[in-house]
Amino acid sequence: MVKRGENQIMQRSVLVIEDESEIAELVKLHLRDLGCQVKLAFDGIVGVAEAEAKNYDLVILDLMLPGIDGLEVCRRLRSKSNYTPILMLTSKATELDRVLGLEMGADDYLTKPFNVMELVARVKAIFRRIDALNRGDTKSGEKIVSSGNLRLDITKREAILDGEPLELTTKEFDLLFHLMQNSGRVYSRSQLLDNVWGYNHSGYEHTVNSFINRVRNKIELDPAKPCRIVTVRGVGYKFSEHKE
């Protein structure tokens, strides 16, 4: 049971796209305890249509679905500039690499079988982050950060590189914004998980590496020799002011 006050704060709508009805119902039950309105979709096609028809606060998306799979659902939503946070459920550890390796734009993921309290913690972390973003509530209060020809506006969720819009997924944006906002400061992978993902779990550090590489591919002239997001050996990463 959740305290009444918390219920009121957490009034949100969540779309769960999951073909295993037992899991879908279990997730629904716990999200309702958080005060969320929950809609279930049992395949990818219905899920995409539902996500496009209504403004959800969160989509919980199973990877393996009949019809189109979770990756394709992600791609279709993001290609139409739908940036609703997506929490991906994957059933095998081997799928994880596939999920992370692809440019599919999920915000977070959980491996099945998952502990339902872990799911609830992730969902709360996503909501907290979204609230902070909606308030324009960044640590230093800055809403725009820039370095050379790269500029990020957190209110508009807009990234510009060389005068052209730069496509970043939600997490890529958050990661880059965080590093730029604290330019010059070195962060460990564990700190970045805390600050950008909102939770910390040993074993998820490779997620950070994967996202760093993806962002580098988008902003570095030579991703093999990054000069913006710099690796500090044995410590982590920092954003380095770009010299034109």
Per the structure block, which two tokens stand in for 85? 């946070």
Minimum gap (Å) between residue 19 Cβ and Ca ion: 5
When asked if residue 172 is in the footprint of Ca ion (CB under 5 A), the reply is: no
In the chain, what is the straight-line distance between the N-terminal and C-terminal CA atoms, in Å?
56
Give the nearer residue to Ca ion in terms of CB position, either 64 or 110.
64
Minimum gap (Å) between residue 95 Cβ and Ca ion: 11
Distance, CA of 16 to CA of 86 (rounded, Å) = 10
Distance, C-alpha 221 to centroid of its chain: 25
Q: If you search the block for the tokens 């309105």, which residue do you land on?
A: 37
Give the nearer residue to Ca ion in terms of CB position, either 14 or 196.
14
Give the nearer residue to Ca ion in terms of CB position, either 112 or 143.
112
Distance, CA of 123 to CA of 142 (rounded, Å) = 26
Contact criterion met (CB below 8 Å) for 156 and 215? no
Minimum gap (Å) between residue 99 Cβ and Ca ion: 14
Pairing of strands 164-165, 158-161: antiparallel
Select from 59-67, 68-76, 200-208, 224-232 the region that touches Ca ion (CB under 5 A): 59-67
Binding to Ca ion, residues 3-32 (CB under 5 A)? 19
Task: Please identify the residue of the shown chain whose CB is closest to the bound Ca ion.
Answer: 64
Pairing of strands 158-161, 13-17: unpaired
Contact criterion met (CB below 8 Å) for 73 and 17? yes
Give the nearer residue to Ca ion in terms of CB position, either 72 or 205.
72
- Using alpha carbons, list the distances in angstroms from residue 236 to 2, 29, 133, 184: 38, 39, 25, 12
Minimum gap (Å) between residue 164 Cβ and Ca ion: 38
The 60-79 site mask, x for binding Ca ion (CB under 5 A), equals: --x-x---------------
Give the nearer residue to Ca ion in terms of CB position, either 59 or 175.
59
Give the nearer residue to Ca ion in terms of CB position, either 68 or 130.
68
Q: Which neighbouring-strand residues pair with 61?
A: 17, 88
Select from 55-63, 95-103, 108-116, 197-205 the region that touches Ca ion (CB under 5 A): 55-63
Minimum gap (Å) between residue 43 Cβ and Ca ion: 10
The binding site for Ca ion (CB under 5 A) comprises 19, 62, 64
